[in-house]
Structure 1
Amino acid sequence: MKKILFTCAFAFMAWYAQAQLGVKYDPTVQSTKSIQYFKPKGNLFVGDCIPFSKDGVYYYYWLLDSAHHKSLNGLGGHQWALSKSSDLKTWQQFPLVLKIDEPWEKSICTGSVVFYKGKYYAFYATRLLNDGKVNEQLSYAISKDGVNFEKQKPNPFYTSAPGYSKRDFRDPKVFVDEKTGEFHLFVSSWQENPVMKNNGGALVHLSSKDLKTWTVHEPILTGQPSTPECPDYFFWKGWYYLVYSDNSNTSYVKSRKPYGPWEAPRYQALNEDWSNVVKTAEFKNGRRIAAAWVPNRFESKDHNGEIFGGNSLFREVGQEPDGTLTTRFPEEMIPETSGAQNIKIVNDLQSTSPDNHSISINSPGGVGSAHVEDVPANCRITLEIEPIGLNEEFGLYLKSGARAEGGYRLNFSAANKTVKLGNTTIEGVDGLNKPIKVDIVIKDGIIDVDVDHRRTIVNRTYEQNGSFVWFYAKHGQVNFKSITVSPLKED
């Protein structure tokens, strides 16, 4: 009996110690419907995403965050969660697939997954403390099903590359050369002695055939103003793409050859201030679906900066003939609505409405406007906008008041090639002098906009909650057509 009691006590202590290492996560209470704008239940959040796909299944690995990166003395305490789907509509939720198992593991950081010869390989960085200093070192795990991973020894398997920071050495992007069987990693780091002191951000290039001995090559990317985080790398329709993030804002370069020379695109469609560290994965029928996350704001104030952790965000990626990427809403992931509601358009200044779904504004000497009342807090708004000749700007005020006070301005400027949403902007937006289709989703403070299925912009909002939507045009003539307002179904 004493032996049994001792065994039980030991097992309980081992369980209790394990329970203290990582945050508790219950997959059975999470949403299995479309996970656009998903946040796990409770005081938990989505962090960096690791999308992957195989055999028509989209594996959405993501960092489980609690306390906005403050867990384990601010080192993150992150672990990998998994949601997966074969149609992007219904999702399976799984227990944590890469957990914190040891006291020295302070965070299971971002990485990537590759399938090779019947096995899934997950490469990631482990954040730890060495002699009181924070280090990031590389680890990997293997799985037969992409769900149950076993960490490999030695763990970590690679501590640092000569000439690069030990503090910043994370987010490995893995791919395998099918001809040689060689594994390649692009690792986010900082050069210790860059030519330009403030431009030491680099992606270290490592390769190995046996996952034991690693060769350090010339970096694939250098000269960045910060550590280029969460890299992505893929070949798609004749182009190689190298994607990386600077302080969470995502950029990419492209090339016809595997390792460059790289060239910048005409515009950066992946770069949205409130779409953090975008990474992509292929999907059925030659499609490509990007995953990111919308951060929360400090103290839940509209003009405060971001804090780590928030809600999931997905984009469908398109490609123009010159290799430039576009973004749009994935059709399957647009939240369901309960059908279009009846709206009444009120014409205010230099505007007319030929029907209940159209507004024509002609205001060459100032600003013309019209509005709609009783717009639900969570809704989808769709419309077509037709500029007639030149104008200074046009757009909408969302979640606004009875006299267009407050709210969030959605502003289009053809001359500047910009779209602004509240206090965030996307640039290099072509075609704003022509008819465009606009799709707007407002859900729990997230405002997300699809501009003509070519560009997207999102913002996190808190403080303005009016039920008016205003339409306006300045110094020009603009028609707003096919306006629909549809309440979102409750989750």
Structure 2
Amino acid sequence: MKKLIFTSIFLVMALSIAGQVVKDYNPSIQPTTGMQYFKPVEEHLFAGDCMPFYHNGVFYLYWLLDEGHHAGLDGLGGHQWALSTSTDLINWKHYPVALGIDEEWEKSICTGSVIADHDKIYAFYSTRVKEGNDVHEQLSYAISEDDGYSFKKQQPNPFYFAPKECVSRDFRDPRAFKDENGLFHLFISGYQKDSPLSGQGGYLVHLTSDNLKDWSEAATPLYGQSGVPECPDYFKWGNWYYLLYSIHGNTYYVKSKQPYGPWEYPEFQPMSEKWGNVSKTAAFKNGRRIVVSYMNSKLNNKDSEGQVWGGSILLRELFQQKDGSLTVGYLPEVAPAMTLTNIPPINLMDKLKEILPEKGEILTLASHNGISVASMNNLPSQYRITMTIVPKGNYDELGLFLRSTDKDKKGYKLSLNANRKTVGLFETEIESVNGLREPIMLNVVIMDDVIDVYINNERCIVNRLGEQKGENLLFFVKNGQAEFKDIKLYSIN
């Protein structure tokens, strides 16, 4: 679970123990299609860390139900596990809280994971507790006998405390799995009290069991991290083993041909982006794999303000390349309903000429001594636009200004830079983006306050931007030349 610094405005939202535990979430009124960017309909409720699980043809999405942006129970969260399921990722069902707060000492049912064994499903999670002025995290587990829709907590509760070398405040997010020999494992996020290098104490506690009840410590699969490696994920895909973990919300992965390393660090990290927090994955039918994270909200809903915990759910598809590296792309099943619509003419701003994309005309922008700009006006308030950008030689930067009003209110800048191998969207940026000198397939979704961008269906960048409402789009090229073609526009219903 990502930790953020919160302003006092959110801490004072906690009133009483009863008032700090969400009891008014109504699963029957939630939308059942278009799961992308989902948050509860109730304005005061939000979604946090996600825990996907695929079992018997059903995609289970457990997620932390949040009120007050982590302010519940004196700022300790007050979170509970909500559940949404689907068999096709298109149509969804929502259920009452599957794993909730029942005792006064439970200050939050934190992130964890589930595992099936015989006819039962086990949920392993951390419970946040407060003793005097100290906060601790400890492991608990629960069992479901109704196929994962509700859980009954088991005794002893807790069943495991932080090892002596681990900071007890940072002992959470257990990832349960079963190896090829039938042995059960837990990877738990932790931070060492005495690390070999100061500030690099993040590691994973490793427990093993042959019965899911009695656990013993084993060698750590990961250590020496700059922060707690939160919400770990672990899976085998083909001949490769993958370990995912998040540092300050950004998700990283390593891969190996051996179960527990030595790990290979990849050339780029496709799930490391500022607004896609703590990504976890689950298998899906036909060998596919789905990535689920969540987007934090912005303080005061202002574009330039910082993050506050909890927001909406973000879904992607994970792709495996021939060398075992991973990429992340568009997941069409969860997209909002949309309709292919006519493309407005493109106006060249420095000359009296229109480009008509629906007739196959190609927009060419060339400016070797500055910047060249064109505009497309009167777009829907919510839409998806796709295109291919073909750079002609080297360039400084190129891209779009989204939700623009005019040249003075130019909107939100989406910038691609081949020399730096970066893609930026407003104040956030992703690095090590390959292929920016070749034809670039760009896919942009604008819905409510979300701008979601896919580059070559391999990398993603998303931001929460709701203040500007312009209906224009600007194309630009700086110190270079590029073609914009194959443009398609979809109106989101």
Q: What band does the TM-score fall into relative to the shorter chain?
A: over 0.9
**Residues 1:240 and 1:347: Cα distance change in structure 2 (over 3 Å):** same
Q: Counterpart of 2:34?
A: 34
- TM-score after normalising by structure 2: 0.93
Show the 5 A alignment for 1:29-68: 29-42=29-42, 43-68=44-69
Equivalent position of 2:460 in the other structure: 456
Structure 2 residue runs of 5 or longer lacking an equivalent are 1-15
Residue ranges of structure 1 left out of the alignment (5+ in a row):
1-15
| Mapping for residues 317-466 of structure 1, pairs under 5 Å | 317-349=318-350, 355-357=356-358, 358-403=362-407, 405-466=409-470
- 1:71 alignment counterpart: 72
Q: Quote the residue 2:11 is aligned against.
A: none
Structure 1 position 177, deviation (Å)? 2.5
* Secondary structure in structure 2 of the residue aligned to 1:299: helix
Aligned to 1:227: 228
Deviations 1:268-304 (A, max 9, x none): 0011110000000000111000000111111222122
Q: CA deviation at 1:245?
A: 0.5
Aligned to 1:310: 311
Matches within 5 A, 1:67-466: 67-144=68-145, 145-180=147-182, 182-349=183-350, 355-357=356-358, 358-403=362-407, 405-466=409-470
How far apart are 1:178 and its partner, in Å? 4.7
Offset of residue 31 of structure 1: 0.8
Shift of residue 349, structure 1, vs aligned partner: 3.2
The answer to whether the 8 Å contact 2:345/2:355 transfers is no
Tell me if the contact between 1:288 and 1:317 (Cα under 8 Å) persists in the aligned partners.
Answer: yes
Distance 1:18 1:398 in 2: 44
Q: Following TM superposition, by how much is the alpha carbon of 1:154 offset from its aligned partner in structure 2, in angstroms? A: 0.9
SS in 2 for 1:73: helix
Q: Residue by residue, what CA displacement relative to the aligned partner does 1:333-357 show, whole Å, maximum 9, x if unpaired? A: 2222133134121111379655335
Spell out, residue by residue over 1:366-416, the C-alpha distance to the aligned partner (whole angstroms, 9 max, x if none): 211110111222111111111112211110000112115241111111111
Give me the whole-angstrom Cα distance separating, in 2, the residues matched to 1:352 and 1:478.
17
Residues 154 and 345 of structure 1: CA distance in aligned 2, closer, same or farther (over 3 Å): same
Mean Cα deviation higher: 36-45 or 340-349: 340-349
8 Å CA contact 1:350–1:362 kept in 2: the answer is: no
Take 2:157 and 2:180, find their aligned partners in 1: how far apart are those partners? 26
Per-residue Cα deviation, 1:189-226 (whole angstroms, up to 9, x for no partner)? 11011111211111110112233432112221111111
Q: Distance in 2 between matches of 1:164 and 1:57?
A: 36
Separation (CA, whole Å) in 2 of partners of 1:102 and 1:242: 34
Contact 1:352 1:361 in 2 (8 A): no
Which amino acid in the other structure matches residue 436 of structure 1? I
Among all aligned residue pairs of Structure 1 and Structure 2, give the percentage whose two residues are the same amino acid.
47
How far apart are 1:118 and its partner, in Å?
Answer: 2.1
Q: In the aligned structure 2, how far is the partner of 1:249 from the partner of 1:444?
A: 24
Query: Separation in 2 of the partners of 1:475 and 1:18?
Result: 60
What is the DSSP-based 3-state SS (H/G/I as helix, E as strand, rest coil) of the residue aligned with 2:487? Answer: strand
Displacement, 1:329? 0.9
Quick one: distance in 1 between partners of 2:21 and 2:104?
Answer: 6
Q: Tell me by how many angstroms 1:486 deviates.
A: 2.2
Letter matched to residue 81 of structure 1: A
Aligned AA for 1:402? D
Distance 2:400 2:168 in 1: 48
1:38 partner amino acid: F
> Aligned partners of 1:486, 1:208: CA distance in 2, in Å?
51
Distance across 2 between alignment mates of 1:33 and 1:201: 39
Q: CA deviation at 1:117?
A: 1.6
User: Could you say if the C-alpha distance between residues 482 and 339 of structure 1 is closer, same or farther in structure 2, counting changes exceeding 3 Å?
Assistant: same
CA deviations on 1:75-126 (whole Å, 9 max, x unpaired) are 0000000111111111010111001011111100000111122221111000
Classify the secondary structure of the residue corresponding to 2:219: strand
In structure 2, how many angstroms separate the alpha carbons of the residues matched to 1:268 and 1:293? 17
Contact kept, 8 Å, 2:20 with 2:78, in 1: the verdict is: no
**8 Å contact kept, 2:346–2:355:** no
Give TM-score scaled by structure 1 length.
0.93
2:491 to 457, 475, 487: 487
Structure 1 17/457 Cα, relative in aligned 2: closer, same or farther at 3 Å? closer
Report the CA distance between 1:18 and its aligned residue: 7.1
Q: Quick one: which amino acid aligns to residue 366 of structure 2?
A: N
Secondary structure at the counterpart of residue 220 of structure 1 = coil
Structure 1 SS opposite 2:381: coil
| Separation of aligned partners in 1, 2:381 and 2:23 | 32
Query: How far apart in 1 are the matches of 2:425 and 2:17?
Result: 46
Change in 2 beyond 3 A, CA 1:374/1:121: same
* 1:421 shift after superposition: 0.8
Query: Paired residue for 1:476?
Result: 480
Paired with 2:401 and 2:90, the residues of 1 have a C-alpha distance of: 31
Query: For 1:349, what is the secondary structure of its paired residue?
Result: coil
Cα distance in 1 between the residues matched to 2:238 and 2:332 = 22
SS at match of 1:317: strand
Using the TM superposition, name which of 123-132 and 92-101 deviates more.
Answer: 123-132
TM-superposed deviation, 1:131: 3.4
Q: What SS does the aligned partner of 2:286 have?
A: helix
C-alpha distance in 1, partners of 2:204/2:41? 35
